[in-house]
Amino acid sequence: MNFTGNQRKMYLLALALLIVAIALACTWSLWRKSSSAPSGEASPEPTVGRTGEADSSATPAPDSAVSGAAEAPEATEQTTASTIVYYQDNDGYLVPVMCTVPMEDGIAKATLGMMVKSAENDMQAARLGLRTVLPEGTTIDLDIADGKARIDLSEEVLNLSDAAAEANMVSAVVQTLTEFDTVEEVEFLIGGQKLESLPHGTDISGTFTRGDINLESSEDAAGAEAAQSVTLYFPSEAGTVVVPVTRMVYSSPDINTAVLELTKGPSATGSLENVLPAGCGLIDVTVEDGTAKLNFTKEFADIALNSDGGRMALKALVLTCTQFDGISAVEILVEGEPFDPGEGTLSVPTFANVADTIVYDYIQTQSAMILDE
């Protein structure tokens, strides 16, 4: 795309206005949440260890006394917390996103509240290129005790359009609640009543534990009864987030299998993007002192031709590898020779998707495209 001098100035002005609008939207959202009355629910503290690695600063400090507190600096009151919200993209893939919210009692209920369709929540989701999963007007009652979250959703959830929307809602709620380390299972009530199923047939009669996310279709997983699951990460079609996908495999679900499955690409029935360039093959995978060394054929070098320099694809590759115990870093070889894809591209992300980072990266990418013209 070619721009005249005036067109470039107008685009940069529009980009600046977009940044200001996002900043104002975030400030308004935080003010609204901090000024609202706190929920009476005694909610667990959030954890981000189940869908992506995080450093210890990403979660609120525990309430227990710190060893050696007499020597520690004076504690300051924490005003925000990190929590994991499950949105969906335009093709129905569930996408976990780490968001920052005001610190308050009942943060689990507040997190679910961010997933309800509303003008404010839809704006927050749209700036990430995603959508909310709970119908407009849905109210939520939540009780957490002895590892079980009992959630009572209002009857608006009976008006979802089809079985796929129902299944996505149930899965998103279960995934969100089981991100909290005090929740192991989830039970659903609708309008205070225990139902066997939702109108389009989605079973909600029992209790739910954390399960596979974005399981590939039965056509892709034929004979899955004898298979095991492995989680792969692929960039979304829009290139703004990475999406976890569950694939059934017939070999050991380890790093060798996971990287080999990445070379096959995403399901043909979906809309996700390839991690590796066309024609790229895997030569071997070795693990040494916590570092996974991935040796690819020469086509891997073409990853730099991606519009973002291959950063999202490399992020998906790193997340796929570092989900396995004992692997904390990734190195790339091409035909046996060390390959440097660029500064920071192989660093382990704090989490699969971080809201502020998604917006920042999008603005940076768009700015670079204009300035490079």
Contact call for residues 250 and 226 (beta carbons, < 8 A):
yes
**CA nearest 122: which of 142, 136, 111, 108?**
136
Instruction: Provide the CB-side half-sphere exposure for 58 (13 A, CA).
Output: 20
Q: Which residue has the higher pLDDT, 226 or 110?
A: 110
Q: So what's the pLDDT on residue 180?
A: 96
Rounded CA gap, 192 and 312, in Å?
Answer: 43
Q: Give residue-wise pLDDT tens across range 289-341.
A: 999 999 999 999 999 998 888 999 999 999 999 999 999 999 999 999 999 99
Q: Give residue-wise pLDDT tens across range 26-73.
A: 555 555 544 444 444 444 444 444 665 443 333 333 333 333 333 444
Rounded CA gap, 364 and 307, in Å?
Answer: 12
Q: Which residues of 100-115 are buried (b: 16+ CB within 10 A; e: fewer)?
A: ebbebebbbbbbbbbb
Q: So what's the pLDDT on residue 1?
A: 47
Distances (CA, A) of 49 to 8, 32, 264, 350: 43, 28, 27, 10
Q: So what's the pLDDT on residue 54?
A: 41
Q: So what's the pLDDT on residue 79?
A: 87
Rounded CA gap, 49 and 178, in Å?
Answer: 11
Find the range with the poorest average confidence among 91-95, 226-230, 318-322, 347-351. Answer: 226-230
Helical H runs in the chain?
Answer: 5-35, 107-113, 119-126, 163-177, 255-264, 311-322, 355-371
Q: How confident is the model at residue 173 (pLDDT cuts 50, 70, 90)?
A: very high
Rounded CA gap, 127 and 133, in Å?
Answer: 16
Contact call for residues 168 and 133 (beta carbons, < 8 A):
yes
CB-count exposure of residue 170 (10 Å: 0-12, 13-18, 19+): buried
Rounded CA gap, 110 and 60, in Å?
Answer: 15
Contact call for residues 100 and 80 (beta carbons, < 8 A):
yes
Q: How confident is the model at residue 15 (pLDDT cuts 50, 70, 90)?
A: low
Q: So what's the pLDDT on residue 29?
A: 54
Q: Is 335 left (phi over 0), alpha (psi -120 to 50) or beta?
A: left
Whether the predicted pLDDT of 117 surpasses 60: yes
Rounded CA gap, 92 and 239, in Å?
Answer: 15
Rounded CA gap, 197 and 320, in Å?
Answer: 34
Contact call for residues 166 and 200 (beta carbons, < 8 A):
yes
DSSP bridge partners of 242 = 235
Q: So what's the pLDDT on residue 28?
A: 53
Q: So what's the pLDDT on residue 46?
A: 46
Q: Give residue-wise pLDDT tens across range 185-203.
A: 999 999 999 999 999 999 9
Neighbours of 352 (CB within 10 A): 24
Rounded CA gap, 50 and 351, in Å?
Answer: 10
Q: Is 42 left (phi over 0), alpha (psi -120 to 50) or beta?
A: beta
Rounded CA gap, 265 and 253, in Å?
Answer: 17
- What is the phi/psi pair of residue 154, to 5°? -70, 170
